[in-house]
């Protein structure tokens, strides 16, 4: 060991430090290369779900030449651009199953962010070491954070998934490092705006990171008095330059000043609404891919013809704030619970099942850093706040992120952004624990209590069941895409294991029913769907699935009865209106069929089935001129509808008056779900 000249700091010898850094980088690259081959063959690498599908859809729009969407940005406006740039903007296949290397460019990009984060953690840790530490203490504080983060399994899992976490973590850590560099020494004029740009990019990935802006301004203001105005102004300018485009786009379409994304309201509701418990809860009905903001639900609830994204954002936020004002103590308790959930050692991974990932990608078993260790050592490192301004900055940043994210809800991926900060503090904490510092030991003991998931055994069991259902969905998609009975049977097994523990998720019953149908076991599928009716509170999706199964068997009085029962609860459900109208027409109840068809047309003017149903029924009753007008009006709204085009041609053909327009290309009811 030799001291740094002019700084009073000791460090590893230059050759040793460089060789260690080179070895770690090469090991990380080698690990990433091996992981790629395993991931691309795995069920998790081939089948994206939920947010992954959403971002891939948006990236496809960008690759198709639409840099700015027709609607406001609902989620991150930056990440789909990164996906498209990485060559993964080809869209999601119809069967939702990718083949091998199709997403390799995106994974390589995210691996680059992961490697870059390791480098930044090393640089950040070097700045956090107190000035009076030398030799081994300094070496441990500098290198232990890198090792801890490199061996933290979720970080590498998210680098392999189609999600934004790796890029978000990189930009956040980069912004903290730039803040420290600018605040600790004189820098060129372009450093502060560069810091603003990097923080703005992090904000475009997740808005809560912008809460660090005043923290960083405060750090710059305190430590560089001579340049405080210049640095602060240039930094703010950098942030505004990045945010300006999405903010202007959203504001123009919303008709009011908005943020760069419009999902804050729905996330606030999920985290604070009547169903909120600190975790993510499926509180917003609707199709996530087509309607993530729950606009159709809101339109039906408030009797509106349609709800824009901006209006949905306001409505969800208003619902959330109304609940908070009504019971502020509950809201405060929820925030406290969510802060605790972000500290405890259990990985809240129902949407990214680490157990399933480890089975599918065995190399991940070598990544052994538990989140609990990061928190325990990290809290011990806080005891060095008097010795290092950087520790104070990291502590403040952690506190702000913990509080900001606790306004919403907690999942594993949201905690990932905290892991690099815990890792840097963990290096300092480990040194102070070995030095037997009383404050560090007291904080570590407190952390050991906080990281234990007290009273959450039932929740953890339920979450494990949801993780199995998550994996089952992917196996189900692969089974259908590859025509693999083995994959379908694997999905069936996972669904049944999941439902044996947690029998209330509607999606699991629907998924199991679909798998059994794909295995050509329709009676078993029907039995499962009916069994699910006795277990779930929201029975409509299962009734609709049973209705579809009945329609596939052919028209029947039971199908008609079930369809009418669904309409009593969901009188404007488009698929059910169409199918019941067809059944009524087939049973000779033409007037009632026409009434439902008109209701479908009025409630869903952009659905071609309404125009087809009304026009066909009019034509069959001899009212051909009216039918022709309906088909023509439908084509104005739905110009790509083959059924409307063909039926208009049939009803307009005066030489073949015996031709009767048909419901659809199959000539019968389509069992729409």
Does residue 85 sit within a domain? no
Rounded distance, CA 443 to CA 479, Å? 50
Rounded distance, CA 587 to CA 135, Å? 89
Q: Are residues 565 and 636 in the same domain?
A: yes
Domain stop point among 481, 509, 538:
538
Over residues 132-175, the pLDDT tens digits come to: 888 889 999 999 999 999 999 999 999 998 888 999 999 999 99
**H helix runs in 502-537, sequence order:** 506-518, 522-533
In order of 47, 62, 91, 492, the CA distances from 96 in angstroms are 6, 19, 9, 19
CA quadruple 276, 282, 285, 290: dihedral sign: positive
DSSP one-letter code for 324: H
- Cβ burial 457-473 (10 Å sphere, 16+ → b, else e): eebeebbbbbbbbbbbb
Rounded distance, CA 46 to CA 474, Å? 8
Q: Are residues 529 and 647 in the same domain?
A: no
Assign residue 303 a region (left: φ > 0; alpha: ψ between -120 and 50; beta: otherwise).
left
Does residue 170 sit within a domain? yes
Does residue 569 sit within a domain? yes
Q: How far is CA 511 from the centre of its chain?
A: 20
Does residue 49 sit within a domain? no
Q: Are residues 549 and 667 in the same domain?
A: yes
Q: Are residues 515 and 623 in the same domain?
A: no
Does residue 122 sit within a domain? no
Number of domains observed in the structure of the chain: 4
With a CB cutoff of 8 Å and minimum separation 6, the contacts of 435 are 137
Domain carrying residue 279 = 265-286+308-326
What pLDDT score was predicted for residue 670?
Answer: 42
- Output the six-digit token pair for 623: 């009212």
Does residue 438 sit within a domain? no
**H helix runs in 64-134, sequence order:** 79-85, 104-128
Q: Are residues 546 and 589 in the same domain?
A: yes
Q: Are residues 281 and 232 in the same domain?
A: no
What pLDDT score was predicted for residue 514?
Answer: 94
CATH classification of the domain holding 506: 1.25.40
Q: Are residues 586 and 603 in the same domain?
A: yes
What pLDDT score was predicted for residue 60?
Answer: 93
CATH classification of the domain holding 611: 1.25.40.10
Does residue 80 sit within a domain? no
DSSP one-letter code for 410: B
Rounded distance, CA 577 to CA 615, Å? 15
What pLDDT score was predicted for residue 306?
Answer: 85
What pLDDT score was predicted for residue 258?
Answer: 93
Over residues 618-651, the pLDDT tens digits come to: 988 888 899 999 999 999 988 888 989 898 888 8
For the chain, residues with pLDDT lower than 70 are 1-21, 24, 224-226, 350, 654-673
Domain stop point among 498, 515, 538:
538
What pLDDT score was predicted for residue 37?
Answer: 85
What pLDDT score was predicted for residue 668?
Answer: 43
3-class SS of residue 67: coil
Rounded distance, CA 156 to CA 35, Å? 9
Residue 316 CB burial class (10 angstroms; 0-12, 13-18, ≥19):
buried
What pLDDT score was predicted for residue 504?
Answer: 86
Q: Are residues 670 and 545 in the same domain?
A: yes
Q: Are residues 632 and 533 in the same domain?
A: no
Q: What is the pTM of this model?
A: 0.87
Q: Are residues 550 and 668 in the same domain?
A: yes
Does residue 388 sit within a domain? no
CB 427 within 8 A of CB 144: yes
Domain stop point among 538, 570, 598:
538
What pLDDT score was predicted for residue 11?
Answer: 40
- Going by C-alpha positions, the residue among 144, 152, 151 that lies closest to residue 122 is 144
Q: Are residues 644 and 579 in the same domain?
A: yes
């Amino acid at each position: 060991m030799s001291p740094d000249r002019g700084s009073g700091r000791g460090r590893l010898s230059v050759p040793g430090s460089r060789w260690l850094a080179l070895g770690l980088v090469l090991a990380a690259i080698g690990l990433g290369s091996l992981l790629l081959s395993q991931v691309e063959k795995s069920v998790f690498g081939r089948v994206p779900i939920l947010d992954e599908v959403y971002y891939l859809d948006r990236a496809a729009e960008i690759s198709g030449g639409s840099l700015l969407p027709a609607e406001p940005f609902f989620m991150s406006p930056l990440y789909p651009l990164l996906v498209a740039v990485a060559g993964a903007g080809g869209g999601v296949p119809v069967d939702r199953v990718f083949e091998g290397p199709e997403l390799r460019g995106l994974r390589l990009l995210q691996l680059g962010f992961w490697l870059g984060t390791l480098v930044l953690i090393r640089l950040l840790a070097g700045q956090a070491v107190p000035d009076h530490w030398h030799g081994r203490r300094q070496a441990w504080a500098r290198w232990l954070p890198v090792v801890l983060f490199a061996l933290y399994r979720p970080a590498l899992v998210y680098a392999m998934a189609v999600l934004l976490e790796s890029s978000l973590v990189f930009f956040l850590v980069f912004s903290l490092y730039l803040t420290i560099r600018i605040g600790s020494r004189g820098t060129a004029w372009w450093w502060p705006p560069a810091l603003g740009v990097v923080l703005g990019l992090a904000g475009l990935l997740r808005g809560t990171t912008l809460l660090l802006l005043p923290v960083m301004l405060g750090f710059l203001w305190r430590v560089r008095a001579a340049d405080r105005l210049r640095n602060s102004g240039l930094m703010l300018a950098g942030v505004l330059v990045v945010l300006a485009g999405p903010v202007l786009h959203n504001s123009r379409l919303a008709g009011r000043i908005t943020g760069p994304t419009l999902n804050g309201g729905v996330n606030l509701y999920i985290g604070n609404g009547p169903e909120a418990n600190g975790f993510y809860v499926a509180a917003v009905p609707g199709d996530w891919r087509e309607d993530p903001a729950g606009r159709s639900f809101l339109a039906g609830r408030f009797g509106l013809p349609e709800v824009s994204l901006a209006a949905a954002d306001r409505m969800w936020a208003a619902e959330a704030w109304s609940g908070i004002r009504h019971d502020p103590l509950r809201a405060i308790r929820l925030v406290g619970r969510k802060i605790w959930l972000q500290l405890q050692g259990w990985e809240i991974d129902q949407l990214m099942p680490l157990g399933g990932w480890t089975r599918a990608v065995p190399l991940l078993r070598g990544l052994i850093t538990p989140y609990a260790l990061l928190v325990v050592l990290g809290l011990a490192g806080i005891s060095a706040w008097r010795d290092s301004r950087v520790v104070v900055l990291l502590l403040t940043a952690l506190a702000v992120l913990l509080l900001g994210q606790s306004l919403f809800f907690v999942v594993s991926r949201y905690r990932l952004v905290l892991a690099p900060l815990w890792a840097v503090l963990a290096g300092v904490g480990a040194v102070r624990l070995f030095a037997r510092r009383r404050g560090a030991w007291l904080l570590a003991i407190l952390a050991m209590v906080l990281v234990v998931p007290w009273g959450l055994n039932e929740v953890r069991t339920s979450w494990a069941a949801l993780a199995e259902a998550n994996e089952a969905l992917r196996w189900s998609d692969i089974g259908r895409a590859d025509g693999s009975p083995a994959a379908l049977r694997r999905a069936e097994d996972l669904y049944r294991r999941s439902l044996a523990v947690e029998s209330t998720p509607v999606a699991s019953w629907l998924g199991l029913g679909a798998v059994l149908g794909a295995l050509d076991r329709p009676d078993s599928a029907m039995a499962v769907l009916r069994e699910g009716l006795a277990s779930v509170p929201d029975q409509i999706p299962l009734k609709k699935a049973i209705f579809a199964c009945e329609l596939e068997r052919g028209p029947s009085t039971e199908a008609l009865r079930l369809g009418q029962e669904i309409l009593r609860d969901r009188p404007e459900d488009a698929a059910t209106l169409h199918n019941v109208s067809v059944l009524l027409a087939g049973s000779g109840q033409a007037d009632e069929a026409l009434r439902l068809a008109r209701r479908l047309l009025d409630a869903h003017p952009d659905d071609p089935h309404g125009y087809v149903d009304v026009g066909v029924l009019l034509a069959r009753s001899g009212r051909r001129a009216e039918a022709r007008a309906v088909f023509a009006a439908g084509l104005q709204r739905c110009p790509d509808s083959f059924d409307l085009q063909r039926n208009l041609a049939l009803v307009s053909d005066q030489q073949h008056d015996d031709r009767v327009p048909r419901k659809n290309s199959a000539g019968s009811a389509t069992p729409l779900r």
